[in-house]
Structure 1
Amino acid sequence: MEELRTMAFRDILERCEDNENFLKLMEEHQDAMTVWADVFAYWMEEKNGTIAALAAYCKVTRNTARQWKQKIPTKREQVVGIGMYWGFQLEQINRLLTRNAKYPALYVKNPEDAIFIYLIHNKKDYSMYEFYMEEYRKMQEEKEPEQKHLDGTEEKTFELNAALLEVMGDQEFKKFLEEHMEVFEGRNRKLYKFLEEYFKLEERNINSLVDDEKLKNAYNNAFSHLKRKGIVPRRNLLIAMGIHLTMPVEDINRMLELAGMEALCPKDRIESAVIFVLEDLYLNDSVLFSDAGRKLTAGLEELIDRCCPDIVWNEEACSFQNIEDVLVQKKKSGAPDIEKFYEEGELESVADYVKRRIRELELREPEEDLELFLQLL
Structure 2
Amino acid sequence: MSKKLRVAVIGCGAIAQRRHIPEYEVNENVELVAFADPVNERAQLYADKHNAKAYMDYEELLKEVEVDAVSVCTPNALHAPVAIAAAKAGAHVLVEKPMAVSTEEGTAMIEAARQNGVQLMVAHNQRYMPPHVKAKEILDSGRLGKVITFRTAFGHPGPEGWSVDGRNSWFFRKPEASMGAMGDLGVHKSDLIRHLLSDEVSEVGAFVGTIHKEGTDVDDNATCILRMRSGAIGTLTASWTYYKGGDNSTIIWCENGVLKIDTDPVDNVIVELTNGNVERYQVGAMATNEQQTHSGVVDAFVTHILEGTTPLVSGEEGLKSLQVILGAFESQATGKNVKLD
Compute the TM-score of the two structures, normalised by the length of structure 2: 0.24
Asked which structure has the greater CA Rg, the reply is 1
- Select the structure that is richer in helix: 1
Tell which has more relative contact order, 1 or 2 (C-alpha 8 A, sep 6+): 2
- Select the structure that is richer in strand: 2
